[in-house]
């Protein structure tokens, strides 16, 4: 489909090449696309709103009364910290034109290196365990088949 284009004209060309009846008219095609866009946006927004509410409940101060702007800022910083690590603090300070000392910058870089190496180690250990379990399962299957065959074909079994 990508070779013949996008939209209704490409759909019409595809139907004519495949000897299919003509698809809907342009107006109906636009209505269908608009409906799909609305539904997909609604489906995408619902989980995002839920995730934002969960993050707000998790990261916002519980005892201090704060305005909605402070709450939004806390949620944005927490999300960036989770996704980008400690480097996000340096980026935030640069955006606010704050002076950053070298120690703070190096500390954030070291924290991120440790975080990344820990994540890689956990992933590799997990995959290693999964591979070992799979290999053990493969090795056990022939033994189980041999035991089953010896039971079935044992002398005097029938």
End-to-end CA distance of the chain: 62
CB within 8 A of 141, min separation 6: which ones? Answer: none
pLDDT of amino acid 4: 53
pLDDT of amino acid 1: 43
CB within 8 A of 17, min separation 6: which ones? Answer: 4
pLDDT of amino acid 38: 79
Low-confidence residues in the chain, pLDDT < 70? 1-7, 14, 18, 20, 60-68, 70, 83, 142-158
Token pair for 115: 């975080």
- Cα 88 from Cα 100, distance rounded (Å): 13
Do the beta carbons of residue 86 and residue 112 sit within 8 Å? yes
Token pair for 56: 């707000």
The 3-class secondary structure across 26-47, one letter per residue, is HHHHHHHHHHHHHHHHHHHHHH
pLDDT in tens, 70-104: 677 777 777 777 767 777 777 777 777 777 788 87
- Cα 94 from Cα 98, distance rounded (Å): 6
Tokens 């999964």 sit on residue: 130
Q: CA triplet 108, 51, 48: central angle to 5 degrees?
A: 110
């Amino acid at each position: 489909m990508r070779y013949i284009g996008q939209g209704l004209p490409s759909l019409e060309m595809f139907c004519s090449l495949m000897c299919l009846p003509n698809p809907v008219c342009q107006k109906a095609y636009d209505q269908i696309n608009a409906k799909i866009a609305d539904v997909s946006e609604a489906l995408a927004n619902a989980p995002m709103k839920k995730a934002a509410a969960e993050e707000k409940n998790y990261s916002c101060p519980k005892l201090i009364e704060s305005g909605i702007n402070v709450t939004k800022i806390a949620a944005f910083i927490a999300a960036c910290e989770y996704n980008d690590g400690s480097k996000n603090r340096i980026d935030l300070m640069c955006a606010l034109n704050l002076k950053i000392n070298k120690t703070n910058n190096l500390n954030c870089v070291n924290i991120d290196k440790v975080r990344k190496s820990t994540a890689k180690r956990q992933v590799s250990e997990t995959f290693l365990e999964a591979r070992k379990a799979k290999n053990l399962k493969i090795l056990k299957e022939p033994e189980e088949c041999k035991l089953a065959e010896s039971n079935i074909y044992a002398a005097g079994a029938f």
